[in-house]
Amino acid sequence: KIYPKTLFVGQIVKYLPSCQSTNDEASALIAHQDPAEGTIVVTDHQTAGRGQRGNSWEAKPAQNLTFSLILKPNFLAATEQFWLNMAISLGIYDTLSLLLETPVRIKWPNDIYADNKKLGGILIENILQGQNIAWSIIGIGLNVNQTEFTYSTATSLQQQAPLPDNYDLSGILRALSESIEQRYLQLRSNQRDSLKTTYLQTLYRYQEEAYFDRDDQRFRGVITGIDSVGRLAIAVDGQLQYFNFKEVSFVI
Ligand code: BTN
């Protein structure tokens, strides 16, 4: 086994041939075994993978990465959870942008995009202790070698790759462990300004005219930033408006 060059992320990997959801497996580990920070649960096949907004996460077995990383970000208040989201998204971005020539973008709040299509998604579930985050389960689904999708808005590394080779899943998991840990350590050592600056530089449709949907209404606006609790700031007719996730979606 080759270990990632990290202090803790990915030093312990629990592999399951199949399970319902790696987030649920990680949650069970936390409930019963006090796992070390950085432990990863990875599977070849999820039978009940979960996505954002109550969606399911579908991925063909053994072709993609579906895993959950366990962190203990007790330095973060529950109200600061978007900082963790930023660090994780950027860590994923760092690895993928080295692999691909197509520009990779972070689509607020939880998606990774390339070529206007979804490469992967993040589902973070926190366990609080008082005001702070005691445990964080970071579920990541990344389309790697799959080339046929039900949705035309999905894509994979393989489809975006400069060379049509199959990727080595464990190699990508190692690279992700390294880049995610670097960003997490950056957050933990309180380098928040540089984290946020880089996050904005990688943000999908940042400072571009774009269309959005809110409830049944379509409107045009320009993303100008993210506020301290992770709301998306959109300038609409010269007026800044702030949106919680679930309140607004992109028209792709
Ligand atoms: C989304 O795009 O809506 C988020 C998708 C998150 C999927 C991952 S796959 C590993 C982990 N286990 C789950 O059940 N979901 C996350």
User: What does the pLDDT profile of the chain (252 residues) look like in tens digits?
Assistant: 899 999 999 999 999 999 999 999 999 999 999 999 999 999 999 999 999 989 999 999 999 999 999 999 999 999 999 999 999 999 999 999 999 999 999 999 999 999 999 999 999 999 999 999 999 999 999 999 999 999 899 999 999 997 777 999 999 999 999 999 999 999 999 999 999 999 999 999 999 999 999 998 999 999 999 999 999 999 999 999 999 988 999 998
pLDDT at 165: 79
Which is the closest atom of ligand 1 to the Cα of 59?
9
Best mutation site among 15, 138, 140, 246 for ligand 1, i.e. most ligand atoms within 8 A of its Cβ?
Answer: 140
CA–CA distance, 102 with 23 (Å, rounded to integer): 30
Which is the closest atom of ligand 1 to the Cα of 121?
2
Å from CA of 51 to ligand 1 middle: 5
Instruction: State the DSSP code for 206.
Output: B
Give this prediction's pTM: 0.97
Segment holding 124, helix H or strand E: strand 117-129
CA–CA distance, 160 with 147 (Å, rounded to integer): 10
Best mutation site among 50, 67, 107, 122 for ligand 1, i.e. most ligand atoms within 8 A of its Cβ?
Answer: 50
CA–CA distance, 217 with 10 (Å, rounded to integer): 43
Å from CA of 124 to ligand 1 middle: 9
Which is the closest atom of ligand 1 to the Cα of 48?
14
The interface pTM score, or ipTM, of the predicted complex is: 0.99
> Ligand 1 pocket by C-beta < 6 Å: which residues?
21-23, 46, 49-52, 55, 57, 66-68, 110-111, 121-123, 139-141
Residue 11: count of CB within 10 angstroms of its CB? 16
- Contacts with 96 (C-beta within 8 Å, 6 or more apart), sequence order: 104, 112, 114, 119, 120, 157
- Contacts with 67 (C-beta within 8 Å, 6 or more apart), sequence order: 22, 40, 41, 42, 43, 139, 140, 173
* pLDDT tens profile 194-230: 999 999 999 999 999 999 999 989 999 999 999 999 9
Closest CA to ligand 1's atom 9 = 141
Domains and CATH numbers, the chain: 13-201 (3.30.930.10), 209-250 (2.30.30)
Å from CA of 99 to ligand 1 middle: 22
